[in-house]
Amino acid sequence: MLMDLQPATRQQLTLDFDDTMPENRIRLMQAMDQINQRYGRGSLVLSSAGGIGAKPG
């Protein structure tokens, strides 16, 4: 199995979206959902999700 294929100086961070999510993060996710409902799926995505470029179609 391939492991440790990046420099040791890089660190993979995680997003902690669990039941204790701060209120401001909840509001952010709700706002993103509303924008995507209005303008179409994928209009707004988290940068960590990748997919920079054309909207899925």
Dihedral of the CA atoms 36, 41, 42, 44 (nearest 10)? Answer: 0
pLDDT for res 25: 83
Give 51's contacts (C-beta < 8 A, 6+ positions apart): 42, 45
* CA 17/CA 36 separation, integer angstroms: 19
pLDDT of 56 > 60? The answer is no
* CA 43/CA 27 separation, integer angstroms: 18
pTM of the model: 0.50
Backbone angles phi, psi at 34, to 5 degrees: -65, -40
Average pLDDT over every residue of 16-25: 72
pLDDT for res 36: 92
